Structure 1
Amino acid sequence: MNGQPLILIVEQSLHDLELLNSHLGILNFSCICTKQGVRAVILAQTHQPDVILLDIMLSNLGANRVIDDLKHDTKTATIPIIALTPLTVVQDDRFTMLAGFDDCITKPYDFNQLEMVISRHISQLNYLNLS
């Protein structure tokens, strides 16, 4: 999409979804958004985003199932998945790595951290694509 990195935002809270979409747009990222895990898998397979931001508190198709589906599909297996999680859920990085996430961003959002984490994963992808 226009040469901008594409981010798939999967967030149960409409407020947070709109907030992330707006902020990432300002940072020159293109975004596709959904509140549903099933739709997230379909959107990821169809659009193959550069990064996926995934709310761990999804209700319809849990985040663990979404990760499992994405990591076992050759089209989406290498896409970095970043956990969006309440601060109270994450005590250390082991939680996110054991769950299959590549990284973690806590709520309430620190937008400097958000930009840094996304940019780091996109830079890693660019490096791997050049190798």
Structure 2
Amino acid sequence: MEERPLILLVEDQEDNQQLLAFILESLGFSYVIAANGAIALELAQQQPLDLILLDIAIPEIDGLEVVRQLKADSKTSTIPVVAVTAMAMVGDRDRILAAGFDAYVSKPYILDDIEEITTRYLGIPDAIKY
């Protein structure tokens, strides 16, 4: 069986973790979860990741600082990082992308948004369904 792409899901709210995990599973992806920025940075160093879905408002180290550190490190700088956030005010999207995120998905999540973003960054024509 072909190895599934590995996605790091960085989200501190358990209900959002469960929803995103369900979506990723239904699309055929493997994932690991980090509930805060410090754990996210640690996991990014420990295993080869294909994509990171990163909330902005997370404990310990916020998502904006996490993406800055990821993009500054040669080991993690090429991993696509997608902001998954409730921030939807005018200017938020531009500020988030300027911080180093590759893309932006706003909450609440819908399957089509997550499928489109994972497919775009993982280079899979149609998300693998197992």
Matched with 2:115 is 115
**Separation in 2, partners of 1:90, 1:48:** 35
Residue in structure 1 matched with residue 50 of structure 2 by the alignment? 50
CA distance in 1, matches of 2:116, 2:65: 27
Distance of aligned partners of 1:89 and 1:58 in 2 relative to their CA distance in 1, 3 Å threshold? farther
Instruction: State TM-score, norm by structure 1.
Output: 0.86
Q: Distance in 2 between matches of 1:64 and 1:91?
A: 15
What residue is the counterpart of 1:95 in the other structure? 95
Matched residues in 1 for 2:90 and 2:24: separation? 23
Tell me how far apart the structure 2 counterparts of residues 7 and 13 of structure 1 sit (CA, whole Å).
17
Unaligned runs of 5+ in 2: 125-130
Specify which structure has the higher proportion of helix. 1
C-alpha separation between the residues in 1 aligned to 2:74 and 2:26? 31
Q: Is the 8 A contact 2:68 2:99 kept in 1?
A: no
Q: Tell me what 1:128 maps to.
A: none
Structure-1 separation of matches of 2:72 and 2:41? 11
Shift of residue 73, structure 1, vs aligned partner: 1.3
Matched residues, number? 123
Query: How many Å separate the matches in 2 of 1:111 and 1:95?
Result: 25
In the TM superposition, what is the alpha-carbon distance from 1:89 to its structure 2 partner? Answer: 3.8
Confirm or deny that 1:33 pairs with 2:64.
no
- In structure 1, how many angstroms separate the alpha carbons of the residues matched to 2:123 and 2:92? 24
Aligned partners of 2:45, 2:90: CA distance in 1, in Å? Answer: 28
CA distance in 1, matches of 2:83, 2:14: 17
- In structure 1, distance between residues paired with 2:80 and 2:57: 18
Task: Tell me which moved more, 83-92 or 5-14.
Answer: 83-92
CA displacement at 1:31 relative to structure 2: 0.3
Shift in Å, 1:59: 2.4
Equivalent pairs: percent with the same residue?
A: 37
Alignment TM-score, normalising by the size of structure 2: 0.86
How far apart are 1:86 and its partner, in Å? 0.8
Deviations 1:18-73 (A, max 9, x none): 11112201111000001111010111111121000000111211112211211111
